[in-house]
């Protein structure tokens, strides 16, 4: 019968590579909190169990191909999760810069990783949406709480990366 269990010990490529064109795709949803876990058991959207055993320090980025078989390829997909979303354009000028700095400082104190790619900053919601909206309002930062896929390629590099930093 068909193989409904797959082992992955390495990321073997990216879904965008032409060698994977036309292959059936089996997606595993890996949230931002699990992207750095090198050992986990997950199930694809098509019901295949995948045992992930990557080397330490690996990161399950969006589009990473974890396995290839006659049935197709297993691909990492980042689901949308609750986040604080702040667009740079909505917080421009000296005042905006100061408020954004204070926001970054508060998020750092909460040990929230940030994704600052492109035109906005995304941080996982570690509190209630009410508390997050209140924090933004208190700072005078224009932003919102929404569901977004974060850290598709990884977190923005800050002074201490999220998994090595301890108090």
Q: For residues 43-70, give the mean pLDDT.
A: 94
Query: Is pLDDT at 11 greater than 50 in this prediction?
Result: yes
Give the Cβ contact number of residue 83 at 10 Å: 25
pLDDT in tens, 45-54: 999 999 999 9
Residue 68 has pLDDT above 50, yes or no: yes
List helix spans (H) across the chain. Answer: 93-109, 129-139
Any long-range contacts for 159-167 (C-beta under 8 Å, 24+ apart)? 162/36, 162/111, 162/113, 163/36, 165/111
How many helices (H) and strands (E) are present in the chain, helices listed first?
2, 10
pLDDT digit string, tens, across residues 79-127: 999 999 999 999 999 999 999 999 999 999 988 899 987 899 999 999 9
Q: How far apart are CA 45 and CA 52, in angstroms?
A: 16
What does the pLDDT read at residue 159? 45
Quick check: pTM over 0.95? no
CA 147 distance to own-chain centroid? 12
């Amino acid at each position: 019968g068909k193989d409904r269990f797959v082992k992955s010990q390495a990321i073997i490529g990216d879904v965008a590579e032409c060698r994977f064109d036309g292959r059936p795709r089996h997606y595993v949803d890996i949230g931002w909190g699990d992207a750095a876990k090198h050992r986990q058991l997950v199930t694809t959207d098509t019901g295949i169990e995948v045992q992930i055993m990557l080397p330490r320090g690996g990161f399950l980025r969006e589009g990473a191909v974890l396995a290839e078989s006659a049935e197709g390829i297993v691909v990492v997909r980042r689901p949308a999760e609750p986040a604080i979303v702040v667009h740079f354009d909505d917080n421009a000028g000296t005042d905006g810069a100061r408020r954004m700095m204070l926001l970054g400082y508060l998020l750092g104190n909460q040990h929230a990783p940030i994704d600052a790619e492109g035109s906005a900053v995304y941080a996982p919601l570690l509190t209630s949406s009410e508390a997050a909206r209140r924090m933004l309002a208190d700072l005078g930062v224009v932003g919102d709480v929404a569901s977004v896929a974060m850290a598709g390629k990884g977190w923005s590099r800050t002074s201490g990366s999220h998994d090595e930093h301890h108090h």
